C-alpha cells in the first residue's frame, strides 16, 4: 500500500480569495512546487482534495475548477514535481453529499484509486474542519497556521509541513 499526502487547495496551494473561480487571477503561495517536489522525493502520492461549492452556488462553471487545477499542475510540473490527482466536491453544503469535507468521500475515492494506507498518510490544510476528514480515516493531520494549536501538529506553510514528514 502507498503513503499519501492529501492537500487542501485554497489557502494551501493558492491564496484563498473566497471562491476563486478564475484561473487567471489565482495567486500561488510561496514554495508550493518545492514542497510538492519534497513530498514526491519522500515517496508520497500527492493528492489535492478540495471543496468547490462555488460551482453549485453558480459563481463559476465546473470547467473553471478544472482549469485552475491544470494551472496548478503546470506550475508544479515546471519545478520537476507532480500532483498525482485532483479531487473536488462541486456540491452545495446543504446537499449533504459524502464527498464534501469534513466527510471523507474524496479521501476514500483516492484510497481506492491509489491503494493508499491511511495510517502512513497525512492531510494538510489551513482549515480545522478539514482535519476531521483526515482523522476520520486514520490520517495524521497538519494544520497550516501561524498560531500554534495544541490540538494539531501545525506548520506555517506547505513547505514547512513537507519538511516535517519523513
Q: Which residues are catalytic?
A: 8, 10
Which among 130, 129, 148, 140 is positioned nearest to 165, based on CA atoms? 140
The rounded distance, in Å, linking the Cα atoms of 150 and 115 is 31
Chain position carrying cell 480569495: 17
* 3-state SS, one letter per residue, for 2-38: ECEEEECCECCCECCCCCCCCHHHCCECCCHHHHHHH
Chain position carrying cell 516535517: 164
18's torsion region: left (phi>0), alpha (psi -120 to 50) or beta?
left
Determine how many CB atoms are found less than 10 A away from the CB of residue 19.
14
Amino acid at each position: 500500500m502507498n503513503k499519501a499526502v492529501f492537500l487542501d487547495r485554497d489557502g494551501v496551494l493558492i491564496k484563498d480569495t473566497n471562491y476563486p473561480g478564475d484561473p487567471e487571477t489565482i495567486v500561488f503561495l510561496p514554495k508550493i512546487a518545492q514542497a510538492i517536489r519534497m513530498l514526491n522525493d519522500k515517496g508520497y502520492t500527492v493528492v489535492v482534495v478540495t471543496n468547490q461549492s462555488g460551482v453549485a452556488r453558480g459563481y463559476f462553471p465546473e470547467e473553471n475548477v478544472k482549469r485552475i487545477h491544470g494551472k496548478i499542475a503546470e506550475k508544479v510540473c515546471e519545478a520537476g514535481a507532480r500532483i498525482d490527482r485532483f479531487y473536488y466536491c462541486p456540491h452545495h453544503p446543504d446537499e449533504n453529499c459524502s464527498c464534501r469535507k469534513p466527510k471523507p468521500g474524496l479521501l476514500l475515492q483516492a484510497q481506492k484509486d491509489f491503494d493508499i494506507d491511511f495510517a502512513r498518510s497525512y492531510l494538510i490544510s489551513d482549515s480545522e474542519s478539514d482535519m476531521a476528514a483526515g482523522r476520520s480515516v486514520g490520517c495524521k493531520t497538519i494544520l497550516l497556521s501561524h498560531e500554534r494549536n495544541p490540538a494539531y501538529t501545525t506548520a506555517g506553510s506547505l513547505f514547512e509541513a513537507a519538511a516535517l514528514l519523513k
